[in-house]
Structure 1
Amino acid sequence: MTEPGFIVAIPARFGASRLPGKPLRLIAGEPMVVHVARRALAAGATQVVVATDDARIADAVRGYPVTVCLTRADHPSGTDRLAECAEQLGWTDEEIIVNLQGDEPFAPPEGIRAVARTLAEAGTEMATLATPIEDSDTLFDPNAVKVVRDARGLALYFSRAPIAWQRDRFARDRTSAPAPGALRHIGIYAYRAGFLRRFTSLPPGELEGLEALEQLRVLEAGYRIAVGITPVAFPPGVDTEADLLRAEQRMMSNSARC
């Protein structure tokens, strides 16, 4: 199948609670949002959009081949911010939009293309990626979201709990490596622009509220999410000062190898 055309949209909010001004924090001398935009461009997106509520973030990416979409400051989520962009920029309903978080300065271009391809091939309303879980710490970590799929590769459920629960094995031991099939969700999404508009009009779901996972709203409303297996590893994003330090070290290490 020919690689589908897609837009990468990067929600970038200035007021992150755990890392204020996160999109503008420097990694190897450049704002984080610039690194993320560069990854999106390397993936071959037909358009890269930085969706932000802050003129300082818009100024940081001026001079790069990206589109800036200035949005309202009161959006409850990045998805809502992108829905406003869909209206401002006049995206057609069939346009594939990849939602790449603004704190993913190491997002692999192959992974960005993979989530767009997963959506195009599955014909679902939404798509995302996952990777096998290889250690028990990740399986039981509530910050690592787990997903289970059906035989067609469609999401059955997302949870912060270890799913599927291996009843007999976990009764004996919860420290050894997980059984094959355990998947960790990667927080990158693709959807058609028409569904992006519809998504933000859906009422919040009960399960979404319990797990604090926005994608559960889609499943609760009866829509489908295709889950592809990422072809390459997604390094951790940046959410804290410690993450920022590790990102700086990784970026300098990568530069030293080039």
Structure 2
Amino acid sequence: MKFIGIIPARYASTRFPGKPLAILGGKTVIQRVYEQVVNVLGEAYVATDDERIYRAVEQFGGRAVMTRADHKSGTDRIEEAAQKIKTDADVIINIQGDEPFIQKSQLETVKQLFDDPQTQIATLGKPFENMEAVENPNSPKIICDVNGYAMYFSRSVIPYIRGKERNEWIKQFQFIKHIGLYAYRREVLSEITKLPQSPLELAESLEQLRWLQNGYRIKVGLTDVETVGIDTPEDLQRAEQFILAASV
């Protein structure tokens, strides 16, 4: 089975314009993401709508593909890129362009989920460590069935633990945080990008709910690695400190 990685990267960002080209430990953020991915998968592309990012990727020896600027989601951008490069990969892995510390173990976990022929889409989850983190609406929660397939994703705290004080809930149930790494069988990626937005997706602002509501199955792999995503300049500073600490 052949896997490739495609990394969607936009220059425009409300909280951090130009984020992919920000310097982190002497390299751009997008270069760090690309190198992490290509070292595991062997083949990767950056899908971007900005020539500055495209040129930067070419300059460090990476592969990039220009895509339209009007995509509503990274998944749509991935599909256009896959068409343009005419990939023959069986599975395409979507790695966010602001995850410079994506780990080999995480990518390997996602790959292994496709050993199950029923897996159409795969993603990752990580157990929450405290209720404060569970209650953060910016950290979607995953509910899975007994076979490891997602039943629902929500920004709300789910499930509700009846008969217990809220601060005790995390002792009663393993709440799972969604990590936004996706992998799709090639034909499934093509299908889901043709779907209209669904009511649940619009309600929670989570595109994966469109896929679930249309009957697609999402297999969830578990990781114990906490990623360090970069959404703001402050996150970049923390990531810089992380690199310095790791090099000591």
Equivalent residues of 1:134, 1:178 under 8 A apart: no
Q: List runs of 5+ in structure 1 lacking aligned partners.
A: none
**Residue matched to 1:155:** 150
Q: Structure 2 CA distance, aligned partners of 1:237 and 1:252?
A: 17
1:29 has 2:21 as partner: no
Using the size of structure 2 for normalisation, the TM-score is: 0.95
Deviations 1:201-228, CA, capped at 9 Å, x for gaps:
0010101011110100000001100011
Give identity over the alignment, percent.
40
Question: What SS does structure 1 have at the residue aligned with 2:177?
Answer: strand
Question: What SS does structure 2 have at the residue aligned with 1:165?
Answer: coil
**Residue matched to 1:11:** 8
**Residue matched to 1:130:** 125
Q: Write out aligned runs for 1:82-97 (5 A).
A: 82-92=78-88, 95-97=90-92
Q: Structure 1 CA distance, aligned partners of 2:19 and 2:106?
A: 23
Per-residue deviation, 1:122: 5.1
Letter of the aligned partner of 1:77 in structure 2? S
Letter of the aligned partner of 2:98 in structure 1? D
Q: Write out aligned runs for 1:112-127 (5 A).
A: 112-121=107-116, 123-127=118-122
Deviations 1:127-172, CA, capped at 9 Å, x for gaps:
1011111201111111111001001111000001111111211xx2
**Residue matched to 1:246:** 238
Deviations 1:89-115, CA, capped at 9 Å, x for gaps:
1124x6211100000011111101211
Alignment length (residue pairs): 248
**Residue matched to 1:223:** 216
1:234 has 2:234 as partner: no
**Residue matched to 1:48:** 44
Per-residue deviation, 1:54: 1.0
Which of these residues, 35, 51, 56, is aligned with residue 38 of structure 1? 35
Q: Structure 2 CA distance, aligned partners of 1:152 and 1:173?
A: 28
Which of these residues, 182, 188, 195, is aligned with residue 195 of structure 1? 188
Question: What SS does structure 1 have at the residue aligned with 2:100?
Answer: coil
Residues 22, 13 of structure 1: alpha-carbon distance in 2 compared, 3 angstrom cutoff? same
Q: Structure 1 CA distance, aligned partners of 2:117 and 2:172?
A: 27
Q: List runs of 5+ in structure 2 lacking aligned partners.
A: none
Q: Structure 2 CA distance, aligned partners of 1:28 and 1:179?
A: 41
Q: Structure 1 CA distance, aligned partners of 2:115 and 2:81?
A: 21
**Residue matched to 1:141:** 136
